[in-house]
Chains A and B, each alone.
Chain A
Amino acid sequence: MPEAPSSAGGAATGAAPASGALLRLVGVHKTYNLGETQVLALRGVSLEIAAGDFVAVMGASGSGKSTLMNILGCLDRPTRGEYFLENVGVSGLSKVELAKIRNRRIGFVFQQFNLLARTSAQENVELPTVYAGIPRAQREQRAREALEAVGLADRAHHQPSQLSGGQQQRVAIARALVNNPPILLADEPTGNLDSRTSVEIMDIFQRLNEEKNITVILVTHEADIAQYAKRILEFRDGRLRRDVPVSRRLIAREVLPTLPALDDEEEGLPASPAASPA
């Protein structure tokens, strides 16, 4: 196994020791059978991510980073190797148990936002709490708090079509946070956003990471976005090629004032429908 050992990078960022790792992959392989051909999406990945870390996963398309995300998010299971989440081996869990982990322990943020159309922001945010079996009054309370945390309290009753792209992504982040998971998995969260809005999203992630100690795992192919993380994992051909700490980390709070304000996208103004991407 010629891969770069992950522990070195982890130690360099000052993360918790290996035994206390929040997430741990040990020799994970993932093979897809596409009829006659086999796709080796992951070829033996071992890494650890400690609680409170902020990791950017980078790589070209086909590098295996999406597969890694699916496995980390308990949407998929390794073909070989083991994935420990909070020291529990995921391979042995049933589909129902995996669903429960996704519901309680992991918050997902997608490139496409994936909000339910014709459904208010409030109801969209409530969705994970419905599957968690939380009583109704408490659900509403939590959704309000989550929306407040992303600065959208005043947009609770807007539908996605009435929100700008940045606002939609913030609703999606609120949805990811509503069950108070320790892990936030973001798959190209800024892929559909302009640069200023992207930095605003990074600001939210950094604050959640700092203030609530939420572990953020961010998949991106944009090198500048990766600079907001504490650590970069670079994948190529299904293997972890590089695991390095971010030397000159960008702080979104400091970057924002240097960027020009983008007309309609500001949160104080009502979003025009034309401003939101289809």
Chain B
Amino acid sequence: MDFLNIFRLALRSLARNKLRSSLTMLGIVIGVGAVIATVSIGQGAEFLIRQSIQSLGTNAVFISAGSNRPGGLRMGFWAVKSLTMDDVLAILREVPLIREASPVVVNRQQVVYQNQNWSTTVNGTSPNYFTIRTWAVSSGTVFSDEEVETDANVCVLGTTVSRYLFGEEDPVGKIIRIRDLPFKVVGLLESKGQSVTGDDQDDRLFAPYTTVQKKLSGITWIQYINASAISPEASEASVPQIESLLRERHRIRPGTDDDFSVRTQSDVADLLTSTQRVMTLLLGSIASVSLLVGGIGIMNIMLVSVTERTREIGLRMAVGATEADVQSQFLIEAVTLSLMGGLLGIVAGLGGSAAISNFLGWPTLLSASAIAAAALFAGAVGVFFGYYPARKAARLDPIEALRYE
């Protein structure tokens, strides 16, 4: 007997008990749906992280003062006053893989415009910082190299700062006060949204690093260097070169720790996405428990079905069904339940993740491979949990089965 016929028989048997079949399927629907929804949320988060890392600027290389050797990322923590503008110039001069580099000096300040004020991070940089970050202005311009030379009191605003100080007004050309010093707003940056670590990248104010060093912080060192390599591959390759250059310049003896750390975009991305992946895996495995429970539901109902249909099985054997025919029929019934449940579960999972991204604003991303894996897993659940009941049906003695009341 061919597969198509057995399949038709199985479908017909399932159709004879619609309520029961659909309830059994529901277990698998929920299981597969939950797996797909959680995985799609996880992958959405991962994608978001990757994307925001990308938004840091292509081929980015970060050099921060102080060692942060033990595992964690501690951006914004500068234990050592080790980096200087000379280091920036040396990198640009001696590491050909690096195309651009900008010093960054960070200082938190209260910013005032007329009767409005806002506390924000003042970033002292050079003009090429915006090139490195691929960050354009929506209005005005960024400050110039001349203004860096002359420690000019000019600044470029992030959209959040601008909104708090100026509302909808265009800030370009206005004068704001930082530490009672007047600063002329020369540009307004485009919105860049949240960073990977969740802070608002638009809540920043940029000024020439010389101005920040001398007039706001009163320091001569810099806190980190934002650089960009000539290509994504070069950013990885440049790391050891920068490290050996800086070790030499800082006179660090072999065997002692660096007083700086160099990271590329992919380091950051890997760290954050691996964390995210663990989360996804955890959620996914919790969801797959419900798939397992759905599988047990199938087994349960198939066992009931075999008992209930004992006489039918006996009759089928009497009219010529072989053990293999009976076994295939019951196995296909189980697999049909689980596969149909799987398909509906995929639909439910898609709907669920769409609903989540709509109502909760979480990003979701569905990969075809996750869907295929869910469908395959559902099928496997059907085979696994359907095998025993099917075997039991096939092993029935036709005489006993026909006599069964």
Contacts and interface: CB of A to CB of B under 8 A. Distances in A.
Contacts of A73: 318
B1 A131 contact: yes
Interface in B184-221: none
A114 interface: yes
A127 interface: yes
A70 B399 contact: yes
A99 B311 contact: no
A103 B319 contact: yes
A179 B318 CA distance: 13
Given A75-B398, A118-B16, A130-B9, A95 B322 contact: yes
A131 B319 contact: yes
A179 to B, nearest CB: 8
A110 interface: yes
B319 A133 contact: no
Interface string B302-344: 0000000001101111111111110000000000000000000
B402 A114 contact: yes
A102 B323 contact: no
Contacts of A179: 320
Nearest to A114: B315
Given A95-B322, A99-B321, A127 B402 contact: no
Given A75-B398, A76-B399, A114-B311, A108 B318 contact: yes
Nearest to A73: B318
B169 interface: no
Given A75-B399, A116-B312, A108 B12 contact: no
Interface residues on chain A, size class: 20 to 34
Nearest to B8: A130
B2 interface: yes
B256 interface: no
Given A99-B322, A114-B402, A116-B312, A130 B5 contact: yes
A114 B399 CA distance: 13
30 contacts: A70-B399, A73-B318, A75-B399, A75-B402, A76-B399, A95-B323, A96-B322, A96-B323, A99-B320, A99-B323, A100-B320, A100-B322, A102-B318, A102-B319, A104-B320, A108-B318, A112-B311, A114-B315, A114-B402, A116-B315, A119-B12, A127-B315, A127-B319, A128-B319, A128-B320, A131-B316, A131-B320, A131-B325, A133-B5, A175-B319
Interface of A: 70, 73, 75-76, 95-96, 99-100, 102-104, 108, 110, 112, 114, 116-119, 123, 127-128, 130-133, 175, 179
Given A100-B322, A103-B320, A114-B318, 19 more contacts: A70-B399, A75-B398, A75-B399, A95-B323, A99-B320, A99-B322, A100-B320, A104-B320, A114-B312, A114-B314, A114-B402, A116-B312, A116-B315, A119-B12, A119-B16, A127-B315, A130-B1, A131-B1, A175-B319
7 nearest CB pairs, A to B: A103-B320, A131-B320, A128-B319, A99-B322, A114-B315, A118-B16, A108-B318
